[in-house]
Amino acid sequence: VIQNDFHFIFQIIYEVLYEDESFRSRAFAALVASKVFYHLGAFEESLNYALGAGDLFNVNDDSEYVETIIAKCIDHYTKLRVENAELPEDEEKKSIDPRLEGIVNKMFQRCLGDHMYKQAIGIALETRRLDIFEKTILESKDIGGLLAYSLKICMSLMQNKKFRNDVLRVLVKLYMNLEKPDFINVCQCLIFLDDPQAVSDILEKLVKDDNLLMAYQICFDLYESASQQFLSSVIQNLRTVGTPIPAVPGSTNTGTVPTQEKDSDVMETEDKAGSSPAGKTADSEPKDQNSKMIKILSGEMAIELHLQFLIRNNNADLMILKNTKDAVRNSVCHTATVIANSFMHTGTTSDQFLRENLEWLARATNWAKFTATASLGVIHKGHEKEALQLMATYLPKDTSPGSAYQEGGGLYALGLIHANHGGDIIDYLLSQLKNASNDIVRHGGALGLGLAALGTARQDVYDLLKSNLYQDDAVTGEAAGLALGLVMLGSKSAQAIEDMVGYAQETQHEKILRGLAVGIAMVMYGRMEEADALIESLCRDKDPILRRSGMYTVAMAYCGSGNNKAIRRLLHVAVSDVNDDVRRAAVESIGLILFRWITSS
């Protein structure tokens, strides 16, 4: 009746009846008023009266009216929950109407009753209801499948880092409480939670339970997914914390032993002919297992296997390079051909094209020579054991100083070979950068050091790069600004941000400013809303290069997240900023935010 004749109904009468507390049918009056307002298009008033209708508003009804009001109800509830969650802890939270929460709870019960678990999980995450999220997973018959689904949407769709971490902690608890805990996914969650100690504990537990294959697989996954800083912490924990000794037949020893760093002799014993399992001491096995895990975590094994794979499967067509070389004669195309060769032979250790064209290569001068030398680092990427011998010709020497461009390129090449896997080469690059007297050599040394120490946040590396930045030399400072960002990648270091932004606002060298613009952005990599204060500050700066840094910071902080707020900011700057470079950076940054969203972009 209301649907067809709502225009004849005086909703004011039903409003008055509902507000009269002595009226026995207040709930019915509220329901009628709600439906009238719904047909009038006043959805907010319709929702308010629907809440007053109590149980007369049946969430299980499949009418268009009920579906619309429920959608409005969930949207309003979500908005209130998100606003409360994002308020500072010292601010008072907004009160939420219990009737509103009651309707949402009924919807959750409806989803669970209809076995629509994925919908329930989606609404629970939208409304920040972790209690419902956990309950939904536990009530389903396919807990493993829902956990995998939840982890996927958590990592791909969550646009708030703090809440994502809360969800990951719940997932860790649920994974660990499975009849057969899923340690692989637990460790993936712990990487994003930045909890290396918990990962170390899991690896020790797996060794204790003699589940070595799982431990080794987790170590390989960690090397592929975690930062150098995270891996270093796990390795340090495995070396220093006592390892539980597995039960040995006939042994009653249940103590712990410290893991030794020099364990190569222990690893060799298991391969010796004639060795007997019974001959092994009770503490040799855990040491052996720890040493293997450390070897995997350090990347030695994965890098060696990857290198051998690339060498065996090198199918680069040298005729393409030859024809390119012959077709172009100017210096820009000369450099482009050298770079193309390095990309085609990345990690293959094949420098055949360069050796066959030494006379052509010798035409490179100044920065072109720097680039040509550095390209060897791309070709020999991962060839770490012989890196110093391979690059010896191009590295700085005490006896007879060579070309500064060649020596700088050589140090940069070392960084490329050891990118994100610095190890001992970091100390070598540190010493070379300390002793370098030429700005071009310092330029290459800073870039190489930044790549080798990528994401380690090492204080000694940071201090040396900062001292090179403060020399106020344009060539050295540009590389130092970039390298500082590489070393502090994703660290959100307040001190680093203060130092870099402060110097960027003081320096008169545009080259240094350009290096710092990118370096500042790298410090906030993956930090999402935690970078918002810095982004606001940079975007308001009068210097266009610092505003461009603000665009890059948005890109790095929300990289791959598809965050709508970040995209709106970039689109606004792309059409409103007065500087062409800032607008260009804004458009480029949109690509970085949406690179995982191919179908929707």
- Mean pLDDT in residue range 290-303: 88
Residue 58 reports pLDDT greater than 50: yes
Give the model's pLDDT for residue 430.
Answer: 94
Give the model's pLDDT for residue 278.
Answer: 44
Q: How confident is the model at residue 107 (pLDDT cuts 50, 70, 90)?
A: confident
Residue 2 reports pLDDT greater than 90: no
Contact 104, 74 (CB under 8 A): yes
Q: Do you know the residue count of the chain?
A: 601
Give the model's pLDDT for residue 280.
Answer: 47
Contact 268, 194 (CB under 8 A): no
Ranges assigned E (strand) in 198-348? 243-244, 256-257
pLDDT, tens digit, 9 for 90 and up, residues 200-214: 999 999 988 888 899
Q: Which has the minimum average pLDDT: 40-54, 295-309, 379-393, 489-503?
A: 40-54
Give the model's pLDDT for residue 439.
Answer: 92
* Burial class of residue 392 in the structure, from the number of CB atoms within 10 Å of its CB (0-12 exposed, 13-18 middle, 19+ buried): exposed
Give the model's pLDDT for residue 20.
Answer: 53
Arithmetic mean of pLDDT over the chain = 84
Q: How confident is the model at residue 241 (pLDDT cuts 50, 70, 90)?
A: low
**Comparing C-alpha atoms, which of 76, 80, 78, 25 is closest to residue 54?**
25
Q: Which has the minimum average pLDDT: 107-121, 283-297, 520-534?
A: 283-297
Q: Which has the minimum average pLDDT: 105-119, 152-166, 248-262?
A: 248-262
pLDDT, tens digit, 9 for 90 and up, residues 481-492: 999 999 999 999
- Mean pLDDT in residue range 328-353: 89
Residue 21 reports pLDDT greater than 80: no
**Comparing C-alpha atoms, which of 470, 474, 437 is closest to residue 484?**
470
Give the model's pLDDT for residue 543.
Answer: 93
Share of the chain above pLDDT 70, in %: 87
Q: Which has the minimum average pLDDT: 77-91, 281-295, 299-313, 339-353?
A: 281-295
Residue 264 reports pLDDT greater than 50: no
Q: Which single residue is written with the structure tokens 């009924």?
A: 106
Give the model's pLDDT for residue 287.
Answer: 67
What residue spans of 158-195 are helical by DSSP H?
161-176, 183-192
Q: Which single residue is written with the structure tokens 């039960």?
A: 247
Q: How far apart are CA 562 and CA 595, in angstroms?
A: 8
Contact 349, 389 (CB under 8 A): no
Give the model's pLDDT for residue 149.
Answer: 93
Give the model's pLDDT for residue 62.
Answer: 75
Angle at 361 between CA 357 and CA 365, to 5 degrees: 170
Contact 266, 288 (CB under 8 A): yes
Give the model's pLDDT for residue 286.
Answer: 59
pLDDT, tens digit, 9 for 90 and up, residues 169-196: 999 999 999 889 999 999 999 999 999 9
Contact 452, 429 (CB under 8 A): yes
Contact 286, 245 (CB under 8 A): yes
Q: What does 342-387 look like in DSSP terms, one character per residue?
A: HHHTTTT---HHHHHTHHHHTT--THHHHHHHHHHHHHTTT--TTH
Q: How confident is the model at residue 6 (pLDDT cuts 50, 70, 90)?
A: very low
**If you compute the radius of gyration of the chain from its CA atoms, what whole number of angstroms results?**
31
Q: What is the DSSP letter of 567?
A: H
Residue 459 reports pLDDT greater than 50: yes
What pTM value is reported for the model? 0.79
Residue 8 reports pLDDT greater than 60: no
- Mean pLDDT in residue range 329-352: 89
Buried b (16+ CB within 10 A) or exposed e, 230-246: bbbbbbebbbebebbbe
Q: Which has the minimum average pLDDT: 2-16, 354-368, 497-511?
A: 2-16
Q: Which has the minimum average pLDDT: 115-129, 270-284, 419-433?
A: 270-284
Q: Select the highest-mean-pLDDT range: 231-235, 433-437, 550-554.
A: 550-554
